[in-house]
Chains A and B, each alone.
Chain A
Amino acid sequence: MTQLALSIRGLQKTYDNGIVALRGIDLDVAAGDFFALLGPNGAGKSTTIGIITSLVNRSAGSVKVFGHDLGTEREAALSCVGVVPQEINFNQFEKPFDIVSNQAGFYGLPRKLARERAEKYLKQLSLWDKAEVAARTLSGGMKRRLMIARAMVHEPRLLILDEPTAGVDIEIRRSMWQFVQSINAAGTTVILTTHYLEEAESLCRNIAIIDRGVIVENTSMKMLLGKLDRESLILDLADPIDVCPDIGIVQLKRVDATTLEADVPKGTSLNELFDALAKTGIRVRSLRNKANRLEELFLSLVERGPGDAK
């Protein structure tokens, strides 16, 4: 039987102001997984993460981290978890080295080991040359990486990344993902929330989508993407056209003189599409997806609403 890194049962949260954030969710994440937890703003992602990391008190339900119940074995459960929050939450007046090594201390690591780990992760995240400057002087991307180093310093078995790349440029984002992929490959379970759905699609093996406090989809990324029954393609044409052609097998829409949008049903061969277009004298110079595939599914799921969830 696969070991579970995270097991959530009947988790509910109603805030003091009456807002119901979670309506009894069940969620399992296998050990070693790279798992995406997606949902629109206010769906309940951060509340779920807050409960797992003990920053939010749950109203009902249970959370187990590697078999340790958060209610009865809080310290053992939290020892397994590292979290990178959405917002910057370190002391801006402290030095990165102190921030990371102190965090190791909070997890009970002896001072010598804490300092060695701080050096190791600051180096791995390219922050070693900034180890002794005030944290407030770091750039936005460096601050994000510092929070990853801090989350990794006790080498957790479960790393939770809550929108870690928000506002981070592409180069730093890629280097961050390389690092996270490497620790996942080494055995750390990773749970990711992000609004960059192409990141989730390319990184994660399994996915849950949460909307208005309910899990509306929980499956493998492959299975989810397999549900997509059509795909919108943007065709850049070699020559301008005045009228949108009718080719029968695919519905076309003229965007402008040199651009067509094709609504392609699943199973339709691109060769058939190109042949049909060639018969009308249209030559295609290049094509691309109109939107990310996961984005299309995501929107269809959250627009459908939790009441329609299976």
Chain B
Amino acid sequence: MNAAGNWEALKTIVFREVNRILRIWGQTLVPPAITMTLYFAIFGNLIGSRIGQMNGMRYIDFIVPGLIMMAVIQSSYGNIVSSFFGSKFQRFIEELLVSPTPNWVILTGYVLGALARGVMVGVIVLVVAMCFTDIRLHHPLVTVVTLLLTSVMFAFAGFINAVYAKKFDDIAIVPTFILTPLTYLGGVFYSVSLLPPFWEKVSHLNPVLYMVNAFRYGLLGVSDVPLATAFAVMFAATIALGAFSMHLLIKGRGLRA
């Protein structure tokens, strides 16, 4: 297809994904708002007021960036893994595979769909957070780029999970046993500087740590890791996961016999 045809195909995939997100808003947009309201109320207000300060700021202010990142990561990953696996399971992915839509357009369309949900959820959680505390953007560009990059990165990761998944259990294993522990241990609720030196070093192997801290820098101006390192890790991981996703699509892994 020519560029205009590819653009139409891309728009179609993205609109279909966004329509799906809005059609089942009770599953896609509301749960993060409820969960994060509870986090802010319990950990932020009730427990946080007794914890005191973290990295020189109120505990509730400290956890806001991490909780927004956590919601964005889970939403981006969850959107693409359930949507793409669902299309495989019901076989309507064949609608795309038999068409002349190039593989890169298919991948971009699904990733943009996941990004759309990540951003929607990020904004919703930000609004919820504003009900509990004052938020001022320390560095808007860092905040926005980190949000987008994290969402894209976990969209690729979710895509890879969906490609390999053969049953619904397979799309729950990674979020439960890998994604959630990485997020909780990625400095959402604490500064890694509180950890013993060994565990602090181990924490630096966790890619979520860099996203949470880059986002925290964007919102609050503090970070446990250098900003350049955080962006280098995020860019490298995004490129690696994107390249591998494309490779799987070209090979037709789990899609073409």
Contact = CB atoms under 8 A, between A and B. Distances in A.
A121 B96 CA distance: 19
Nearest to A52: B98
A16 to B, nearest CB: 8
A55 B6 CA distance: 20
Interface in B1-55: 1-2, 4-6, 8-9, 11-13, 16, 19, 23
A191 to B, nearest CB: 14
A88 B252 CA distance: 21
A102 interface: yes
A102 B98 contact: no
B256 A89 contact: no
A105 B14 CA distance: 11
B23 to A, nearest CB: 8
Nearest to A91: B92
A137 B168 CA distance: 24
B5 A57 contact: no
B256 A55 contact: yes
A185 to B, nearest CB: 25
B11 A105 contact: yes
A150 B97 CA distance: 14
> What is the predominant secondary structure among interface residues of chain B facing chain A?
helix
B256 A108 contact: no
A108 B2 contact: yes
Contacts of B16: 98, 102
Interface string A49-88: 0100111110000000000000000111011010101011
B191 interface: no
A281 B223 CA distance: 108
A76 B8 CA distance: 16
Contacts of A88: 91
A103 to B, nearest CB: 6
B207 to A, nearest CB: 33
Nearest to A77: B100
Contacts of B95: 89-90, 99, 102-103, 106, 150
B98 A54 contact: yes
Contacts of A53: 97-98
A83 B98 CA distance: 8
Interface residues of B, number: 29
B240 to A, nearest CB: 25
A85 B96 contact: no
A267 B90 CA distance: 53
Interface residues on A, range: 35 or more
Contacts of B226: none
Contacts of A106: 9, 12-13, 95-96, 99-101
B91 A89 contact: yes
A110 interface: yes
A79 B1 CA distance: 8
A162 to B, nearest CB: 12
Contact of B257 (A15, A76, A81, A150): A15
Nearest to B103: A74
Contacts of A103: 95, 99
Given A53-B97, A85-B94, A92-B90, 8 more contacts: A75-B100, A87-B91, A89-B95, A91-B87, A106-B100, A108-B4, A108-B5, A110-B8
23 contacts: A53-B98, A54-B97, A57-B256, A57-B257, A78-B98, A78-B100, A85-B94, A87-B91, A89-B92, A91-B87, A98-B16, A99-B95, A106-B9, A106-B100, A106-B101, A107-B1, A107-B5, A108-B8, A108-B9, A108-B100, A110-B8, A111-B8, A111-B11
